[in-house]
A and B are shown apart, each in its own frame.
Chain A
Amino acid sequence: MIKKRLNIRMSGLGGQGAVTAAHVMAMAANRDGKFSISNPFFGAEKRMAPAESYCRIGIERIYDRGELVFPDVIEVFHPQVITMGKSYTMPFYSGIKEGGVVIINSDIPLLSEEDIERLRDLNVALFYIPGTQIAIEIAGTELSTNMTMIGSVAGITKCVSMEALDGALQERFGKKFVASGGTASLDEAIKKKFAKKEMLLQKNLATVKRAYEIASEWAEKNKIELQVGNPAVAA
């Protein structure tokens, strides 16, 4: 289904880069000529507490902002979002639209029979990806988990191109970036994991690509057709 707007809700834990992931996705969509907006929601900042971010991508100007109550795609960055209820909603998938997709970073299944049934009733597809493992294998750090989540949603929906993601990552990490003190120290932490900034960009992009390929293959095999239109065609 080609939609006028794709709403992506990213549920993670503080420090995992869910906010950065939504910003990078929106920046990439903007580079692709689509309309996009991203914003985070979190409490007083602390590690491992629930943190959510939202990315809206569409074919016309987007005004809507704030928490995404009715998403097309939900990305779960950490198993504790489900197992310990570290989500802004219970269950974590409440509000998901019919025909949507749930992407979970886990190497083992986490949902109960009842959850699976409720999602099936809504025709929601379920995709597990061992994102943290992939991040450790390719980038050498679990801090790149958010890159696998970016790659997953991009691979399934094709809402942003790999080329635009490359540009967005360079824009975000290639220059000095000041947000809050917390974000600045996290940026420093990730930079220390790589010998050079070019390595950081290169390995993170490789992580995105790997997840993109896995997700793309899964979407093809399962005939997932959740896509957002092209503004040029719409106009």
Chain B
Amino acid sequence: MAETKSVIGTQNKKGQTFTDPWKLMNEAPRTPSFFTGSEVIKEAIRRASCDVMIAYPITPQSEAAALIGELFAEGYIGDYFRGESEFAVMSQCAGASFGGARVFTTTAGPGTMRAMENFPMWAGSRLPIQMIVTCRGVNSPLSIQPDTLEISYLLNTGMLVWHAETAQDFFDWILKGYMVSEEPDVHLPLALCCDGFFVTHTKDVVQLTPPEMCLPPYDPYRSPVPCMDMECPPVRMMRDPFVMKSNYISYATHASWQQEIWAAVERSRKHSIHWLNGLIDTENTDADIVIVASGTAVSQGREAIRLLEDEGVRCGLVKVKTLRPWPEEEIREATKNAKHIFVPEFNVTGWLAKEIKATIPNHERVHAGPHVCGGMTMPPEIIVNEIKTALGMKKSFVMAGRGS
């Protein structure tokens, strides 16, 4: 066997020290910085030892993509270029990842939709690409404002899907995300989502690790599939597609490979729990009323809980951090005492509420709402009113707000 040598403690060309990832994330000193979410994405990537970033402009991720261009100019990224469209970008990401690079990209809304064909392809090819999704409206009439509908389209691609609440989540999860998705028993792409504008364009305090410390580089030999080998799956399947052969063996091969992808999503569970300290966060889940949410809806839920507390109404909170893997057992346990479960969402269909209903017993406890969509804001006051109305209590706020 060839001699293996650790890179930990050695320096890259920018003089950053490759640091044990666990120590980097949990023990390294942190400096508070007042940054926008886009700036925070840049700072995370500065520390992520990325080989390739491919960009295409679409609001609200353009700032982050432009800032990472600055990082490339400073020499922190191996290569950086702009694709012809989001479809091209995601295809080029696949090429770079097949070649053994650690790949990063960002997208949003219609861009995510345009590139959609690539995502199950990434998962099927076991490419641990990280894609930031800064959610915005996807439908016509056009909207550039936050709307989380696009996440629902990603849930069945075979990608890992995480939903960040704040820029702090973003900073930590970008780095931790690579650690989870590059595990040999996972080796899947990660869609790290946030609500556009609410996170990307908001200035907030974020605790950053030292810029002179970075993740060790990606090791393509940890891939569970041979690198670009034309005779083995998954590339063999592309060279010689089963779709051309209608026989039992081709179906069985394809079926077993899909099962393997979803088994890999399941296997990511233990790594995600390790790195994220659990797939959900909980507060006061012994209360009769519990809010279950992901992304910015968690933040608005926290404010609503404060307002309810002022009126003597106690309400618990479940923050869903990972949507894939889906924290089924955790949500069941966290909501077992709840008589009423409210799921505030920034989309029209209420996909999170549907997932929760399919997960827990006595799902008539789930109240799918309040909903806002198309870029609307969800003031905490409307969550409070929704809860009080559903419980037959007098509303706290007269909503003669905007547009009245």
Choice from B67, B202, B299, B402 contacting A94 with Cβ under 8 Å: B402
Report if B171 contacts A (CB, 8 A).
no
Supposing A65-B299, A66-B378 touch, asked if A30 and B205 sit within 8 A by C-beta, the answer is: yes
Q: Which residues of A contact B59 (CB under 8 A)?
A: 44
C-alpha gap A67/B377 in the complex (Å): 6
In the assembled complex, how far is the CB of residue A176 from the closest CB belonging to chain B, in whole angstroms?
9
Q: Could you pull out 26 A-B pairs where Cβ atoms are within 8 angstroms?
A: A23-B203, A27-B203, A37-B204, A39-B198, A39-B203, A41-B145, A63-B302, A64-B299, A64-B300, A65-B198, A65-B299, A66-B198, A66-B300, A66-B378, A66-B379, A70-B379, A94-B401, A94-B403, A94-B404, A95-B401, A178-B67, A178-B70, A179-B63, A180-B66, A181-B62, A181-B66
Choice from B197, B203, B296, B302 contacting A41 with Cβ under 8 Å: B197
Report if A235 contacts B (CB, 8 A).
no
C-alpha gap A41/B379 in the complex (Å): 15
C-alpha gap A79/B67 in the complex (Å): 34
A26-43 vs B, CB cutoff 8 Å, 1 = contact: the mask equals 110010000011111101
Q: Is the CB of B380 within 8 A of A64?
A: yes
Interface size class of B (residues with CB under 8 A): 35 or more
Count how many chain A residues have C-beta atoms less than 8 Å from C-beta atoms of the other chain. 28
Q: Is the CB of A27 within 8 A of B34?
A: yes
Q: Which residues of A contact B378 (CB under 8 A)?
A: 66
Of chain A, the residue at the smallest CB distance from B299 is: A63
Q: Is the CB of A180 within 8 A of B62?
A: yes
Point out residues on A near B: beta carbons under 8 Å: 23, 26-27, 30, 36-41, 43-44, 63-67, 69-70, 88-90, 94-95, 178-181
Of chain B, the residue at the smallest CB distance from A55 is: B203
C-alpha gap A27/B299 in the complex (Å): 20
Report if B303 contacts A (CB, 8 A).
yes
Of chain A, the residue at the smallest CB distance from B202 is: A39
C-alpha gap A27/B62 in the complex (Å): 23
C-alpha gap A65/B203 in the complex (Å): 10
Q: Is the CB of A30 within 8 A of B34?
A: yes
Q: Is the CB of B300 within 8 A of A63?
A: yes
Q: Which residues of A contact B205 (CB under 8 A)?
A: 30
Report if B144 contacts A (CB, 8 A).
yes
Report if B335 contacts A (CB, 8 A).
no
Choice from B63, B202, B402 contacting A95 with Cβ under 8 Å: B402
- Of all A-B residue pairs in the complex, the 6 with the closest CB atoms, nearest first, are A66-B377, A67-B377, A63-B299, A39-B202, A89-B402, A63-B302
CB proximity to A under 8 Å, residues B178-230: 197-198, 201-205
Q: Is the CB of B381 within 8 A of A70?
A: yes
Interface of A (DSSP majority class): loop
C-alpha gap A23/B37 in the complex (Å): 13
Report if B125 contacts A (CB, 8 A).
no
Q: Which residues of A contact B62 (CB under 8 A)?
A: 180-181
Q: Which residues of B contact A39 (CB under 8 A)?
A: 197-198, 201-203
CB proximity to A under 8 Å, residues B360-377: 376-377
Q: Which residues of A contact B145 (CB under 8 A)?
A: 41
Report if B285 contacts A (CB, 8 A).
no
Report if B294 contacts A (CB, 8 A).
no
C-alpha gap A218/B202 in the complex (Å): 32
C-alpha gap A90/B404 in the complex (Å): 7
In the assembled complex, how far is the CB of residue A98 from the closest CB belonging to chain B, in whole angstroms?
12
C-alpha gap A37/B203 in the complex (Å): 6
Q: Is the CB of B63 within 8 A of A180?
A: yes
Q: Is the CB of B144 within 8 A of A43?
A: yes
Choice from B63, B202, B379 contacting A69 with Cβ under 8 Å: B379
Residue of B38, B146, B204 ringed by the most chain A CB atoms within 10 A: B204
Choice from A27, A30, A38, A44 contacting B202 with Cβ under 8 Å: A38
Of chain B, the residue at the smallest CB distance from A183 is: B63
Residue of B146, B201, B303, B404 ringed by the most chain A CB atoms within 10 A: B201
In the assembled complex, how far is the CB of residue A175 from the closest CB belonging to chain B, in whole angstroms?
12
In the assembled complex, how far is the CB of residue A131 from the closest CB belonging to chain B, in whole angstroms?
23
C-alpha gap A32/B139 in the complex (Å): 42
